[in-house]
């Protein structure tokens, strides 16, 4: 079975799109597209809302309500929305299936982004926030320059879990006539072509890992080193000024001790 | 400063992901001067694309090649909706689907029997099939039609009537519910698979036999053929509404018969000695290529072969 899966994945015919069959790159592209549309919409909706709720402490019930949405069965909801929406679209459009798919994916992506943005801002140390206000910053300034950067690691982790979930779940697009990597899983099952089915699953997993890796990289370069603990303590607490900390008196003492021991 | 960096990083991520998205399908418009089918999008279940009587069979038997294939569902609401709204031009549906009648869809004739016949046939245990039982069931078989069966399914699926009630009213409409004694003394267990049509048929057989004095037990909604056929063979079920083509294909994997009479004859031969097939009904529940009335008029379509004409 492993050999069959490998030969399915390496068969050049499966990497080319004809007018009748869409190949792996085409379905991968469609999958990424469905996922990105959903994530972009979810980000636009949930991130500002989460930041605002965390900053003001108002309407926290929204976070609980959004979390409750996670309990909705995705496939059931998808079919329900398709039944309601699809008959309103005529002609060669797949909007009647794409819109329902994006709705259910957005519903999946909103809760982790929203609750992590909220929790991130909420958990900023009150001392830091007070200090910022004390310096004369306005509310929006505190949010954008102090709370947001401090909350960024949590915001990223929320977005990353939303991304994973959306990429894994976008396979259901195939359930309602659309493409995406779910096509291989769904068709493989129906055609009893199990290598195709397993390959589809592997491709989804690979895509999820690559997306997470990219986001991890983005996180590494955007989150301030000061709040991730990636800087050596001496850099942060260094008594000497300078971007790299400069020579530290304690290190110098240690070096002297090591040198004397070696001698 | 930081926000700018975040925006930049997000844009970079989006770009990297977006580049891989660029390969997605750009459907090319069909060239002029091809066949009618070459301008059409076909909708059907995923396995229809590879099944021998699916797309490969249409090509071999009729030279029909569609421009694109959209996977919809197995003869269900998604396929019907896609056909009605023009997302697909032709689709694979089952002949007894009530949506065909309700939406004025046109079944294209299949003169070369690309799809194996699926006439409805009662399979009975030999030692339970008394002359009376045979007589009662064959009378029922003579009245079953594809359209009539579609109506009955519609009553259950759309009007939410119980299969047993639908079966009873059909029997009385056809004058088959008169009480008598022709099946007196017979005692049978009737089974059905887990879909509406089969359940209605089992109920029809059961009620018709009851009216003629037989003792009937029912085991409905059993599941797939892999589950019920062994029970039928072992004798724990005595009567089952079957489909000639599928039953034959299950018993004999290498069967090649496709026309109604050939399939029926082959099935009678293939059945084990303790089971017999009664008369086959005119009613069939098989795959069919279906188009809208509008499409049929536009291209003057009557049979599947017409799809291979220049359009």
Residue B243 has pLDDT above 90, yes or no: yes
Regarding whether B206 and B92 lie in a shared domain, the answer is: no
Regarding whether B227 and B79 lie in a shared domain, the answer is: no
- State how far residue B211 is from chain A, nearest Cα, in angstroms: 42
Regarding whether B102 and B40 lie in a shared domain, the answer is: yes
Residues within 8 A of B (CB atoms), A 42-81 only: none
pLDDT score of B11: 58
Regarding whether B111 and B125 lie in a shared domain, the answer is: no
pLDDT score of B254: 86
Domain of B181 in residue numbering reads as: 120-277
The verdict on B39 touching A (C-beta cutoff 8 Å) is no
Among B4, B7, B75, B78, pick the best mutation site for testing chain A contact (most A Cβ within 10 A): B78
Whether residue B9 lies inside any domain: the answer is: no
Say which range, A101-115, A194-208, B27-41, has the weakest mean pLDDT.
B27-41
Residue A247 has pLDDT above 60, yes or no: no
The verdict on A93 touching B (C-beta cutoff 8 Å) is yes
Q: What percent of chain B is modeled with pLDDT above 90?
A: 67
Q: How many angstroms separate the CA atoms of B234 and B274, rounded? A: 9
Residue A69 has pLDDT above 80, yes or no: yes
The verdict on A91 touching B (C-beta cutoff 8 Å) is yes
Of A29, A187, A215, the CB nearest to B21: A29
Whether residue B252 lies inside any domain: the answer is: yes
Per-residue pLDDT, averaged over A222-230, amounts to 80
CA-based nearest residue in chain A for residue B24: A26
Contact A149, B2 (CB under 8 A): yes
- State how far residue B96 is from chain A, nearest Cα, in angstroms: 22
Regarding whether B106 and B239 lie in a shared domain, the answer is: no
Q: How many angstroms separate the CA atoms of B145 and B70, rounded? A: 31
Query: Residue B76: which residues within 8 A CB-CB, separation 6 or more?
Result: none
pLDDT score of A253: 61
pLDDT score of B19: 45
Regarding whether B200 and B220 lie in a shared domain, the answer is: yes
- State how far residue B22 is from chain A, nearest Cα, in angstroms: 6
Number of compact structural domains in chain B: 2
Record: contact B45-A190, CB cut-off 8 A: yes
Per-residue pLDDT, averaged over B174-178, amounts to 88
Grouping H, G, I as helix, E, B as strand and the rest as coil, residue B217 is strand
Q: Could you tell me the pLDDT band of residue B22, with boundaries at 50, 70 and 90?
A: very low
Whether residue B179 lies inside any domain: the answer is: yes
Per-residue pLDDT, averaged over A101-121, amounts to 96
Record: contact A94-B87, CB cut-off 8 A: yes
Regarding whether B267 and B126 lie in a shared domain, the answer is: yes
Whether residue B30 lies inside any domain: the answer is: no
Regarding whether B59 and B203 lie in a shared domain, the answer is: no
Regarding whether B246 and B219 lie in a shared domain, the answer is: yes
pLDDT score of A91: 84
3-state secondary structure string across B221-241: CCCCHHHHHHHHHHCCCCEEE
Whether residue B256 lies inside any domain: the answer is: yes
| Nearest residue to B93 (alpha-carbon basis) of B112, B72, B114, B113 | B72
pLDDT score of A210: 97
Residue A79 has pLDDT above 70, yes or no: yes
Per-residue pLDDT, averaged over B41-56, amounts to 91
What token pair was written down for B147?
A: 């359209």
Whether residue B102 lies inside any domain: the answer is: yes
CA-based nearest residue in chain B for residue A213: B13
Say which range, B18-22, B85-89, B194-198, B262-266, has the weakest mean pLDDT.
B18-22
- Give DSSP secondary structure letters for chain A: -HHHHHHHHH-GGGGS--SSS--HHHHHHHHHHHHHHHHHHHHHHHHHHHHHHHHH---THHHHHHHHHTTS-HHHHHHHHHHHHGGG--SS--HHHHHHHHHHHHHHHHHHHHHHHHHHHHTS-HHHHHHHHHTT--HHHIIIIIIHHHHHHHHHHHHHHHHHHHHHHGGGGGGGT--STHHHHHHHHHTT-HHHHHHHHHHHHHHHHHHHHHHHHHHHHHS-HHHHT-S-HHHHH-SS-STT----HHHHHHHHHHHHHH-
Per-residue pLDDT, averaged over A128-141, amounts to 94
pLDDT digits (tens, 9 = 90+) for B136-170: 999 999 999 998 999 999 999 889 999 999 999 99
Chain B residues within an 8 Å CB radius of A87? 81, 84-85
pLDDT digits (tens, 9 = 90+) for B51-96: 888 999 999 999 999 999 999 888 888 899 899 999 999 999 999 9
Query: Residue A126: which residues within 8 A CB-CB, separation 6 or more?
Result: none
User: Which domains, ranges and CATH numbers included, belong to chain A?
Assistant: 2-230 (1.10.3720.10), 232-263 (no CATH)
Q: How many angstroms separate the CA atoms of B228 and B235, rounded? A: 11
Q: How many angstroms separate the CA atoms of A217 and B9, rounded? A: 9
What token pair was written down for A140?
A: 């929006």
Record: contact A187-B49, CB cut-off 8 A: yes
Domain CATH number, residue B131: 3.10.105.10
Per-residue pLDDT, averaged over A32-51, amounts to 97
Chain A residues within an 8 Å CB radius of B20? 25, 28-29, 32
Q: How many angstroms separate the CA atoms of A173 and A169, rounded? A: 8
Record: contact B9-A96, CB cut-off 8 A: no
The verdict on A190 touching B (C-beta cutoff 8 Å) is yes
The verdict on A18 touching B (C-beta cutoff 8 Å) is no
Q: Could you tell me the pLDDT band of residue B14, with boundaries at 50, 70 and 90?
A: low
pLDDT digits (tens, 9 = 90+) for A163-184: 999 999 999 999 988 999 999 9
pTM comes to 0.76
| Nearest residue to B227 (alpha-carbon basis) of B198, B262, B201 | B198
Record: contact B49-A191, CB cut-off 8 A: yes
pLDDT digits (tens, 9 = 90+) for B104-137: 999 999 999 899 999 999 999 998 999 999 999 9
CA-based nearest residue in chain B for residue A185: B46
Q: How many angstroms separate the CA atoms of A57 and A45, rounded? A: 18
Regarding whether B304 and B161 lie in a shared domain, the answer is: no
What token pair was written down for A158?
A: 């929320």
Record: contact B25-A145, CB cut-off 8 A: no
Whether residue B142 lies inside any domain: the answer is: yes
Regarding whether B256 and B132 lie in a shared domain, the answer is: yes
pLDDT score of B2: 52
Domain CATH number, residue B50: 3.40.190.120
pLDDT score of B12: 55
Record: contact A222-B46, CB cut-off 8 A: no
pLDDT score of A233: 54
Q: How many angstroms separate the CA atoms of B89 and B290, rounded? A: 9
pLDDT score of B279: 95
Q: How many angstroms separate the CA atoms of B66 and B43, rounded? A: 10
The verdict on A194 touching B (C-beta cutoff 8 Å) is no
Say which range, A212-221, A237-246, B49-58, B123-132, has the weakest mean pLDDT.
A237-246
Chain B residues within an 8 Å CB radius of A19? 27-28, 67-68
Regarding whether B237 and B134 lie in a shared domain, the answer is: yes
Contact B240, B190 (CB under 8 A): yes
Report CA A158 to chain centroid distance, whole Å: 6
H helix intervals, chain B: 2-21, 55-62, 77-84, 98-102, 131-143, 146-157, 163-173, 196-211, 225-234, 244-251, 260-270, 293-299
Whether residue B5 lies inside any domain: the answer is: no
- Highest mean pLDDT of the ranges A90-94, A154-158, A188-192, B13-17: A154-158
């Amino acid at each position: 079975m492993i050999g069959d899966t490998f030969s399915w994945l390496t068969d050049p015919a499966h990497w080319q799109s004809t007018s009748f069959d869409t190949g792996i790159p085409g379905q991968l592209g469609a999958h990424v597209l469905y996922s990105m549309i959903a994530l972009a919409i979810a980000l636009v909706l949930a991130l500002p809302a989460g930041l605002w709720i965390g900053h003001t402490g108002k309407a926290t019930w929204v976070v609980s309500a959004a979390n409750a949405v996670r309990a909705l069965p995705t496939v059931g909801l998808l079919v329900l929305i398709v039944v309601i929406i699809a008959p309103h679209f005529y002609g060669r459009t797949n909007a009647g299936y794409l819109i329902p798919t994006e709705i259910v994916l957005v519903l999946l992506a909103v809760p982790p982004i929203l609750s992590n943005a909220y929790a991130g801002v909420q958990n900023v140390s009150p001392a830091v926030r007070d200090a910022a206000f004390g310096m004369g910053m306005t509310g929006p300034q505190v949010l954008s320059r102090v709370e947001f950067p401090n909350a960024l690691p949590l915001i990223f982790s929320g977005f990353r879990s939303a991304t994973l979930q959306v990429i894994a779940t976008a396979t259901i697009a195939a359930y309602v006539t659309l493409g995406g990597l779910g096509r291989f899983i769904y068709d493989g099952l129906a055609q009893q072509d199990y290598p195709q089915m397993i390959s589809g699953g592997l491709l989804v997993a690979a895509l999820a890992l690559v997306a997470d890796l990219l986001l991890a990289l983005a996180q590494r370069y955007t989150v301030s080193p000061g709040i991730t603990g990636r800087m050596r303590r001496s850099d942060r607490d260094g008594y000497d000024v300078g971007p790299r900390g400069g020579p530290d008196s304690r290190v110098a003492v240690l070096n002297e001790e090591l040198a004397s021991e070696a001698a | 400063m930081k926000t700018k960096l975040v925006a930049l990083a997000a844009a970079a991520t989006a770009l990297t992901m977006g580049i891989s998205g660029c390969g997605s399908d750009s459907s090319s418009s069909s060239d002029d001067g091809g066949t009618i089918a070459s301008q059409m999008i076909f909708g059907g279940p995923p396995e229809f694309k590879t099944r021998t009587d699916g797309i490969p069979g249409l090509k071999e038997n009729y030279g029909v090649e569609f421009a694109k294939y959209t996977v919809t569902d197995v003869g269900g609401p998604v396929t019907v909706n896609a056909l009605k709204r023009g997302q697909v031009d032709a689709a694979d549906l089952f002949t007894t689907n009530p949506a065909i009648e309700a939406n004025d869809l046109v079944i294209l004739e299949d003169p070369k029997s690309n799809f194996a016949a699926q006439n409805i046939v009662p399979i009975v245990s030999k030692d339970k099939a008394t002359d009376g039982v045979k007589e009662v069931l064959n009378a029922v078989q003579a009245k079953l039609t594809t359209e009539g069966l579609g109506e009955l399914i519609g009553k259950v699926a759309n009007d939410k009537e119980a299969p047993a009630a639908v079966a009873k009213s059909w029997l009385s409409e056809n004058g088959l519910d008169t009480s008598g004694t022709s099946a007196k003394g017979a005692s049978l267990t009737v089974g059905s698979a887990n879909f509406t049509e089969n359940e209605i048929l089992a109920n029809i057989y059961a009620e018709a036999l009851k009216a003629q004095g037989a003792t009937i037990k029912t085991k409905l909604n059993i599941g797939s053929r892999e589950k019920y056929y062994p029970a039928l063979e072992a004798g724990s079920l005595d009567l089952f509404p079957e489909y000639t083509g599928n039953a034959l294909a299950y018993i004999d994997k290498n069967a090649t018969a496709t026309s109604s009479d050939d399939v029926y004859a082959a099935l009678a031969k293939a059945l084990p000695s303790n089971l017999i097939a009664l008369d086959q009904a005119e009613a069939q529940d098989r795959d069919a290529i279906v188009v809208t009335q509008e499409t049929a008029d536009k291209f003057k379509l009557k049979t599947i072969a017409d799809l291979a004409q220049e359009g």
